[in-house]
Structure 1
């Protein structure tokens, strides 16, 4: 809280993009330092404050006491910027939320032309210092890893992402304008900024966690990344202004990497966030090429899956790049030249971030116990009996024994080189010999108790026989109904389905019966288990395919060739 009767500072600073994620924290830090009157500049027509938000509450008190004010500005219009910054000595230029646009022209005008307009306005209004909030993306081409890079790393000759290239152009313009008309400039390159109030990555991550997509690790999971907690970035902006004032030769006209200086595996960082919010940490590794293929397929189905929708200008492809590639930076120059050191550790930053998003946390107790009795679709398909227990790996020992027995049987019948009849006959002979030997074994063999093979061991339950007969009768009657429909010659759909089925069966039986049975054996012990684990994701993919097929069908019917 700011006392009303506190003396108002005489020096004024402007935060362009002051209602953005980083801008709000920078405004808070500037107000707490009590050195400046702060003008908050953003694109919104009016200032909307949330009384329950401590950042907005502090700003509201500052506005009431005359230590802060709000100005609506479109950075594409020079005169509006001039009006907002006139009489100020320091300008901080951060991203304005409206700058995140998929359209190249709109993005260029907001990011690059906006930076040029800010520079011209600062020069015209005799502003002393301009600090530009840049990004480590300006030195990232989207393809090559970056390991402990310092500020000597050059701009890439070609960029993979539009946003990074536009930021690089804006940064270069700011640095080039240094020492023109007395204006001193510098740029701060942050990496993976996070913290309370973050509006892009955290909401995206939580949304994917709710959908079950965060079970997967893209790539090896060993890639390192640097992260910047938002309060540290706000502190770095203040350090930059103070350094421009006290030792301009060391800072002016330069760019500095600003991170928490604690490189961490990207997927470890994600795991800590997800676990803190009650979600399962990623544990299934997927090859990068496979994920790229899935993304390409997702684009072909026109964004039916929520996971592939663009996250403003920085798409899922960009997120995949930072999730699979190493990007670490050396911040020693920021410490030596600006005096910047993180004020919040990475561990504290993660904890603060998790707490701020706790309203979106998963109710772990409810999720763990609330659906215990809910039957999965895979269990229903398999009849919810012994077969389901085996194929869904509910008893791993039993499932493994059954799988091993099936593999041995498959090898015996199909892969040993004998005819099928010979293999069956030899198998029966071996079973008879084993049964005879078992019958002569004593009840106690070297301390091992051997139970007797009682007659009912070999009997089949009457209900099982009746169910099998009913199943055969059902299949037979269904086949007869299909034959009757074919004999009438009225249903061409049935004819084509039956013909396709017979042709497929002939192809499989004559050419690939062994391969097909082996594949069926493997899939039976894996596909049902996999489907039960990722039922929601597979169902979503199925719906997307059905929707796509429906759209194609409508187009074909609408535009006959």
Structure 2
């Protein structure tokens, strides 16, 4: 009996990606979707004109679409089975003037029209929205290994951008008539990310460049862009095959390799030819300056004179721990990072093309040796104390010096009189110690003999040698 010939394979559907020309994620996502072999076409929608560079695949088509035009959105999505929508605030530099009204129109109103078009005339079945993990960050509070259940939205958002992102998230999660889910990548980076390079270049040019804000030990989750593109593909496939478990839910997406924030910053700055900052500055100082600037700007109506490096959210990023748990994405989406954090950093650093020249940095700034102040102070323990590298140690020495300064100079006593009183206190303490019994409340009181007050010439010489070594010794 002859077997029937298999019929022609059903035609592959198309998909759409928003902000594909003006955001880092969409440029990589469009390429990954074209290479997946699941789509007949990848339609890239963007309010701004497409870049002059040719697309990476013949399946990628760029279309300039105004997200405020509902009819244009429906026409552009014709034939698309899925839409990958990226956080519109990341495209604000090219899509709006940066004001709150423009951001709201681009992000919230644009998302609303997109969802109406998807469940209406366009007939799109699945929407994956890539937002940000910052929507659950609450100011100066640390976020440690937070999952989707233990990290709700904060009662008060620190900035308008995070609040707009949360509004868009809630619209997506509560959408009717279309399967949706939300991805929350943390600290997205990758080749071609001008925001990351510009931020580090701005920090290197500023007066704050010599300082590490906070202790420098705070951890953050960073996510390589290709891993986020892979997570989008996994999320769309899960919506297609396992919609009951995935639809209407958010998922944290990271590289699953928490790293010290300042170590990541240092890797980028060293690749740009800049020296690592070594002086720790307590986070309360820039936070106070940023808060004061914000009060002047909001309540008195003066122009905001703070630099972007003094914005509260920037200081929180540099000084607070922000790490997230991706077990839910692994379990329900089948997401696993395809590029390690080390490889991602190396690829990003390798993509830099003379960034110091492009952003006005001098190669003289990139000397990897010790600073002048460090060399002048001997690069030893004294340098660590005076340059505030160990906060507790520096505070102890400053407090001791202040007490000595007050005792000998600020009080009404003469120097010799103060020294006499100081010796009198020591003598009185030794006298009390001498009359105490050998046992006091179960504690043994050791006898102070005359040997304790003898200093041999060798011990005195060794003390001076240790002091000189501590002052001039190499800092490790």
Q: What TM-score do the two structures reach when normalised by structure 2?
A: 0.70
Deviations 1:197-245 (A, max 9, x none): 1132321111221345332111122221111111100110011111111
> Does structure 1 residue 194 correspond to structure 2 residue 194?
no
Q: What is the CA distance between 1:251 and its match in structure 2? A: 1.2
**In 1, Cα distance between the equivalents of 2:26 and 2:125?**
20
> Contact (CA 8 Å) 1:40, 1:69: kept in 2 or not?
yes
Question: Could you say which structure has the larger radius of gyration?
Answer: 1
| Correspondences of 1:74-113 after superposition (within 5 Å) | 74-96=66-88, 97-98=91-92, 102-113=98-109
Change (3 A) 1:411 1:395: farther
Post-superposition CA distance 1:377-402 (Å, at most 9, x none): x9xxxxxxxxxxx9x55799999xxx
Distance 1:395 1:121 in 2: 64
Q: Distance in 1 between matches of 2:19 and 2:382?
A: 62
SS, match of residue 171 in structure 1? helix
Alpha-carbon distance in structure 2 between the residues aligned to 1:260 and 1:74: 33
Task: Name which of 23, 41, 45 aligns with 1:41.
Answer: 45
Structure 1 residues 229-238 or 319-328, which shifts more? 319-328
> What residue number does 1:528 align with?
none
Distance 1:223 1:123, change over 3 A: same
Query: CA contact under 8 A between 1:9 and 1:35: conserved in structure 2?
Result: no
Q: Hey, what does 2:152 align to over in structure 1? A: 154
Question: Given the alignment, which residue of 19, 25, 28 partners 2:28?
Answer: 25
Mark the runs of 5 or more structure 1 residues left unpaired by the alignment. 1-6, 51-56, 370-375, 379-389, 400-407, 424-445, 448-561
- What's the counterpart of residue 551 of structure 1? none
Q: In the alignment, which residue of structure 1 is the partner of 2:111?
A: 115
Contact 1:226-1:263 at 8 Å conserved across structures: yes
2:355 is aligned, of 356, 360, 365, to 360
Tell me how far apart the structure 2 counterparts of residues 154 and 347 of structure 1 sit (CA, whole Å). 30
Cα–Cα, structure 1 residues 187 and 367, in superposed 2: closer, same or farther, change >3 Å? closer
Q: Distance in 1 between matches of 2:221 and 2:307?
A: 25
Indicate the structure with greater helix content: 1
**Which residue matches 1:385?**
none
Match of 1:144 among 135, 141, 146: 141
Higher RCO (CA 8 Å, separation ≥ 6 residues): 2
> 2:32, 2:229 within 8 Å by CA — same for their partners in 1?
yes
Q: Which whole-Å CA distance do the structure 2 matches of 1:398 and 1:118 have between them?
A: 61
> 8 Å contact 2:213–2:283 — kept in the other structure?
yes
What is aligned with 1:12? 14
Mapped to 1, the partners of 2:220 and 2:406 lie a distance apart of 49
> Which of 258, 271, 280 lines up with 2:253 in the alignment?
258
Distance 1:100 1:411, change over 3 A: same
Q: State the distance in 2 between where 1:187 and 1:146 align.
A: 19
Map Cα deviations across residues 501-535 of structure 1 (whole Å, 9 max, x no partner). xxxxxxxxxxxxxxxxxxxxxxxxxxxxxxxxxxx
Q: Matched residues in 2 for 1:340 and 1:249: separation?
A: 17
Matches of 2:264 and 2:110, distance apart in 1: 34
Please point out which of 127, 134, 139 is paired with 2:124.
Answer: 127
Question: Secondary structure of the equivalent of 2:131?
Answer: strand
Counterpart for residue 167 of structure 1: 165
Aligned equivalents of 2:314, 2:140: Cα separation in 1: 13
Change over 3 Å in CA distance of 1:318–1:412 after alignment to 2: closer
Contact map agreement 2:45 2:65 (CA 8 A) in 1: yes
Supply the distance in 1 between the matched residues of 2:406 and 2:170 (Cα, whole angstroms). 68
Distance 1:211 1:120, change over 3 A: same
Give how far 1:291 is off: 0.8
* Matches of 1:398 and 1:13, distance apart in 2: 62
Asked whether the 8 Å contact 1:195–1:350 carries over to 2, the reply is yes
Aligned-partner SS, 1:47: coil
TM, length-normalised to structure 1: 0.60
Contact persistence 1:277–1:358 (CA under 8 A):
no
Q: 1:396 to 1:9 in 2, by over 3 A?
A: same
**Does the C-alpha gap of structure 1 residues 396 and 236 become closer, same or farther in structure 2, counting only changes over 3 Å?**
closer
Q: 1:412 to 1:348 in 2, by over 3 A?
A: same
Correspondence for 2:325 among 304, 326, 330: 330
Distance 1:225 1:366, change over 3 A: closer
Alpha-carbon distance between aligned partners in 2 of 1:129 and 1:413, rounded to the nearest angstrom: 76
Residue number in structure 1 paired with 2:278: 283
Residues 1:226 and 2:216 are matched in the alignment: no
Secondary structure in structure 2 of the residue aligned to 1:89: strand
Q: 1:395 to 1:246 in 2, by over 3 A?
A: closer
8 A contact 1:138–1:165 mirrored in 2 = yes
Contact kept, 8 Å, 1:303 with 1:309, in 2: the verdict is no
| Aligned with residue 246 of structure 1, among 224, 241, 245 | 241
Shift of 1:17: 1.2
What SS does the corresponding residue of 2:61 show, helix, strand or coil? strand
Question: After superposition, where does 1:59-74 map in structure 2 within 5 Å?
Answer: 59=55, 62=57, 65=58, 67-74=59-66
Query: Does the residue aligned with 2:354 lie in a helix, a strand or coil?
Result: helix
Instruction: Decide whether the 8 Å contact of 2:143 with 2:324 is kept in 1.
Output: yes
- What is the distance in 2 between the residues matched to 1:359 and 1:288? 32
- Aligned residue pairs, count: 376
RMSD, aligned CA: 3.8
Give matches, 1:484-503, under 5 Å.
none
Superposition map of 1:306-321 within 5 A: 308-310=306-308, 316-321=311-316
